[in-house]
Amino acid sequence: MSSATWRQFFSYNRYTSICGRATRSALKEGERVKAERRGDTSLRYQEWKEGKAGEQRSVKEQQQKSA
């Protein structure tokens, strides 16, 4: 079996996400928490209408509101 068998089932981003999660779960508690914090991302978006910028919004905040 080839080492690239995962390519049949996952995209590269999905594969690295799975590997990262497995690696973080194998770490000791203190190191695991630090690694998980580094994994958090802050993504913001802004809608533009008629050439003018709207309010900037955080994707994480939007997800929390809809949940």
Domain parsing of the chain, residue ranges: 5-66
User: What is the spatial distance between Cα 45 and Cα 24, in angstroms, rounded to a whole number?
Assistant: 29
Model pLDDT, residue 36: 78
Model pLDDT, residue 61: 72
Q: pLDDT by residue for the chain (67 residues), tens digit each? A: 456 777 788 888 888 888 888 988 899 999 888 887 776 667 788 888 999 988 888 877 766 677 6
Q: Maximum Cα–Cα distance for the chain, whole Å?
A: 55
Beta bridge partners of 58: 44
3-state secondary structure of 10: coil
**Distance of alpha carbon 63 from the chain centroid:** 13
pTM of the model: 0.45
